[in-house]
Amino acid sequence: ALSAGSRVLRSYRGGHVVIRFALGGCTNRPFFRIVAAHSKRARDGKYLEQLGCLDPLPNAHGEKVAGLNVERLRHWLGCGAQLSRPAEKLLGRCGRRP
Amino acid sequence: AKPAFSDEAVQNLLCRMTGLNLEKVFKSVKKELKPPTYKLMTEAQLEEATNKAIAEAKERLRMPPVLNEREPIDDVLAEDKILEGTETAKYVFTDLTYSIPHRERFIVVREPSGVLRKATWEERDRMIQIFFPKEGRRVIPPVIFQDEHLVTVFQQDRHEDILNMCIAQFEPDSPDYIRVHHRTYDDIEKHAKYDLLRSTRHFGGMVWYLVNRKKTDGLLIDMLHRDLLDDTTSLITLYHMLHPDCPSAKEAKEGNLQGVELIKVFVKTESQREGYIQLALQAYQEAMATSTAS
């Protein structure tokens, strides 16, 4: 049962679905999760679905590892989600968007 | 046409040669210590239990596939000169859709020079292990699979363990898997340690390797010393199937020889260590004579 002070269900006025990066990790060690969420939510708050991840620091082989769940990404883009600027750049780099 | 490893006839021959030593197949693996359980059974129940054990042993002795080495991937998807100076490191993108088999996943690499290419097999294996970890596999292959350390492993007689580790770590068609297996088989053949692999699932692969390279003498001698005549006949039939042009194969087909005659013909034409095999054959025949006489 929902008590008076609980914040489980939020209803916004306006706002749309965006696909953006949520920052996680520790001090001096960032780690991004590629996430589909409401634009009015906090950056690291409750999201609709996690669609992948990006590690901005290069690993032992000199690569920056990124994973993208292409099928679910297509679904959300089909539902009309917007992309943030860094998300656009990432998708452009992997060849999925001009 | 040349028979492949996965043909039914070949698999039957290899299964028979592998033998079924129940004690060795179900040898206790290091687990948590438990006191042993004892069950009281009638003769019929014991028979049923042994049959079930034999069925499970056959399942455990199924041979891993022997494939050719895979071709290196070298496919450029796009070249964008605009991105040339923008980054310092390469980006590796993996498709994380759950329902695609790992062979068909898209794993692409964007180099700092702007070239978008498909990832090489080693990069593919690493990425798939990072995102979909499999038990027993490390992201970076352990140091033990390099040649200097394989020597130490062979000195400790742990061929079976390292072959199991190799199956867990590498894909069957990767060059590392093939190299480790060939190294192991060569070492076993050099020191005649065939019994180490006798009741395991690696025996078939070893026999296939030796027959393809015509190094079957040591194995023949070992089988004759252990009085396994059926195994020798199946080995020679396999040899004839794979090399139908050798003189012993033609003679065997004409005369339709069986058993000891087949071995004698084979020894005369094909083997390098004729003397040894003749001696072993003689010893075997004497042993058979004394056992039938007594």
In sequence order, the 6+-apart residues with CB closer than 8 A to the CB of B131 are A67, B94, B96
The angle formed by the CA atoms of residues B197, B202 and B208, to the nearest 5 degrees, is: 105
Which of A57-61, B57-61, B195-199 reaches the highest mean pLDDT?
A: A57-61
In sequence order, the 6+-apart residues with CB closer than 8 A to the CB of B56 are none
Cα–Cα distance for residue pair B50/B28, rounded to 1 Å:
17
Please give the radius of gyration of chain A, using alpha carbons only, rounded to the nearest integer. Answer: 15
Residue A17: pLDDT band (50, 70, 90) is very high
Given this model, what pLDDT does residue A20 score?
Answer: 92
Residue A26: pLDDT band (50, 70, 90) is very high
Residue of A60, A65, A72 with shortest CB distance to B92: A65
Nearest CA in chain A to B131: A67
Contact B220/B211 with Cβ under 8 angstroms? no
Question: Above 80 in pLDDT, residue B271?
Answer: no
Given this model, what pLDDT does residue A66 score?
Answer: 92
**Any CB–CB contact under 8 A between B46 and chain A?**
no
Cα–Cα distance for residue pair B216/B212, rounded to 1 Å:
9
Give the ipTM of the model, two decimals please. 0.87
Residue A55: pLDDT band (50, 70, 90) is very high
Output the CA–CA distances (angstroms, integers) from residue A3 to A6, A11, B57, B206, in the order listed. 6, 16, 59, 69
Contact B105/B94 with Cβ under 8 angstroms? yes
Which of A74-78, A93-97, B10-14 reaches the highest mean pLDDT?
A: A74-78
Q: How far is A70 from chain B (nearest CA, A)?
A: 6
pLDDT in tens, B228-241: 788 888 888 888 88
- Residues pairing with A17 in the sheet: A38
Please indicate whether, in this complex, the C-beta atoms of A71 and B108 are within 8 angstroms of each other: no
Identify each DSSP E strand in chain B by its residue range.
76-79, 90-95, 107-110, 115-118
pLDDT in tens, B7-52: 888 888 888 888 778 777 777 666 777 788 888 888 998 899 889 9
Token pair of B149 as six digits:
């350390």
Q: Phi and psi of A63, rounded to 5°?
A: -115, 150
Q: What mean pLDDT comes out for the span B255-280?
A: 77
Q: How far is B146 from chain A (nearest CA, A)?
A: 19
Nearest CA in chain A to B79: A95
Q: Phi and psi of B206, rounded to 5°?
A: -65, -45
What contacts 24+ positions apart, CB below 8 Å, involve B191-196? B192/B218, B192/B221, B192/B222, B193/B157, B193/B159, B194/B218, B194/B219, B194/B222, B195/B222, B196/B157, B196/B159, B196/B160
Nearest CA in chain A to B91: A64
Given this model, what pLDDT does residue A8 score?
Answer: 66
Helix axes B229-242, B217-225, angle to 10 degrees: 160
- Residues pairing with B214 in the sheet: none
Residue from A93, A96, A97 to probe the interface with B (highest B Cβ count within 10 Å): A93
Q: What mean pLDDT comes out for the span A33-44?
A: 92
Question: Above 60 in pLDDT, residue A98?
Answer: no
CATH of domain A17-94: 3.30.1320.10
Residue B79: pLDDT band (50, 70, 90) is confident
Mean pLDDT score of chain B, rounded to an integer? Answer: 84
Q: What mean pLDDT comes out for the span A68-97?
A: 89
Stated pTM of the model: 0.83
Question: Above 80 in pLDDT, residue B152?
Answer: yes
Given this model, what pLDDT does residue A4 score?
Answer: 64
Contacts A69 to B, Cβ<8 Å:
95-98
Helices (H) and strands (E) in chain B, counts: 13, 4
Identify each DSSP E strand in chain A by its residue range.
17-26, 29-38, 49-54, 63-68, 82-83
> Which strands sit side by side in the sheet containing B107-110, from one edge to the other?
A82-83, A17-26, A29-38, A49-54, A63-68, B90-95, B107-110, B115-118, B76-79
Question: Above 70 in pLDDT, residue A2?
Answer: no
Residue A18: pLDDT band (50, 70, 90) is very high
Given this model, what pLDDT does residue B236 score?
Answer: 82
Token pair of A5 as six digits:
């002070």
